[in-house]
Amino acid sequence: MEVRGVGVRCGLVGGSMRSDQARALAGTPESRHARTAARVGVPRTAARVGVPWAAVRGGTNAMVDLPAGGARQGRADDRDGVAGRLRAAGCVFAEEEARLLRDAARTPAELEEMISRRSSGMPIEHVVGWAEFCGLRVSVGPGVFVPRRRTEFLVRQAVAFAQASALAKGRPDGRITVLDMCCGSGAIGLALAAMLGPIALHATDIDPAAAACARRNLAAIAGHVFQGDLYVPLPAHLRGRVQILIANVPYVPSGDIAMLPSEARNYERRAALDGGTDGLDVLRRVCAGASRWLAPGGALLTETSERQLQPAGELLAAGGLAVRAMTSSEGEASVLVATKPPPAGAQ
């Protein structure tokens, strides 16, 4: 079946995934932050920092003085040696990360603990307890999947679909019904609510830690988070009523997990990364139930790799959905938008 593309080369690339492809799927610190920084015209030193971007853009890692005994000393010349210790541990962006750690630590003892964790290889987002996503600060607990910069493109496509389709029109409360599947920290749902206004948000994740993290992040917008396998924990009344089903499923082929950055391999759940032999196992299961849960005119949106666009699109089309393939202008993010047609004879 045909998959319509917008600026996309659809087709399977033969052979195993290259190391750089695997790194792109996981999202290295530089790929998460540098490209976005370059688009908004920030200094190169800030663009290269492998830390949550809001820390630089929003000024939260500015150097400020604390009362005597405080951890934040404001030492740009690293007289306290934090950057040197991080650099010795292999942190490429040691100065920037040192500033972020100093800002996050409330006491010298806490700063020492953070330095130790970061030096051991823990992602900076897990060390400080949050990540920046779509301009929002999102809590990220230990082991929880860190939202990637590339996934902001998936959010933008969902917003564009909702606005173009006027999904809220005619609804008594004006709220779009959104299902965030494999939600992780809940970052996608949180970003959608920020961009679209109030939504009826439901989210699922099989990982108890991720579901708990999502509940914390989504409490302020009254999001409903269910812990369980895909559609299994969802209330029956949602069947046939979901207008946007956004599924950032794991899609790294099992054989390529070993090529991911150690930050992903060692500190994020394998279930959040491993998509099976061809990377499409979880998407197949999402596709199998999508038509039953989507409202007529609703859409399933999912992120994938460029080489998986054609087979993933064929899966969605085989489920009776009309599929479009999209890529970001930078070429680093690929998204499929699969719409459920209205009933025959409907206007």
Helix locations, the chain, DSSP H:
19-26, 29-39, 44-47, 54-57, 82-88, 94-104, 108-119, 124-128, 152-165, 187-196, 208-218, 262-267, 281-293, 309-318
Amino acid at 314: E
Choice among 67-76, 131-140, 247-256 with the minimum mean pLDDT:
67-76
Cβ 245 vs Cβ 299: under 8 Å: yes
For residues 128 and 191, state if they share a domain.
no
Residue whose tokens read 């396998």: 229
**pLDDT at site 38:** 31
Q: Does 154 score more than 90 pLDDT? A: yes
Cα distance between residue 325 and residue 323, in whole Å: 7
Domain end, chosen from 72, 100, 135, is at: 135
| Same-domain pairing of 182 and 322 | yes
Q: Based on the domain organization, do 335 and 191 belong to the same domain?
A: yes
Q: Residue 139: beta bridge partners? A: 130
The residue-averaged pLDDT of 44-72 equals 30
Same domain, 270 and 314: yes
- Give the angle 169-170-172 at the CA atoms, nearest 5°: 115
Per-residue tokens: 50: 């492998």
CATH number for 204: 3.40.50.150
Residue 23: which of 148, 125, 188 has the closest Cα? 148
Domain coverage including residue 236: 4-16+148-339
Please count the helices (runs of H) and the strands (runs of E) in the chain: 14, 10
Residues 261, 281, single domain; the answer is yes
Give mean pLDDT, residues 319-330. Answer: 92
- Over its C-alpha atoms, the chain yields an Rg (Å, rounded) of 21
- Taking the C-alpha atoms of residue 246 and residue 189, their distance in angstroms, rounded to an integer, is 9
**Is residue 132 a contact partner of residue 187, using CB atoms and an 8 Å limit?**
no
Residue 281 and residue 197 share a domain: yes
| 161 and 32 within one domain | no
- Clarify whether residues 156 and 127 are in a common domain: no
The amino acid sitting at 304 is T
Q: What single letter denotes the amino acid at residue 13?
A: V
More confident of the two residues 60 and 176: 176
Instruction: Report the domain count for the chain.
Output: 2
Q: What is the model's pTM?
A: 0.78
pLDDT digits (tens, 9 = 90+) for 175-204: 999 999 999 999 999 999 999 999 999 999
Q: What is the mean pLDDT of residues 117-130?
A: 94
Q: Are 36 and 125 found together in one domain?
A: yes
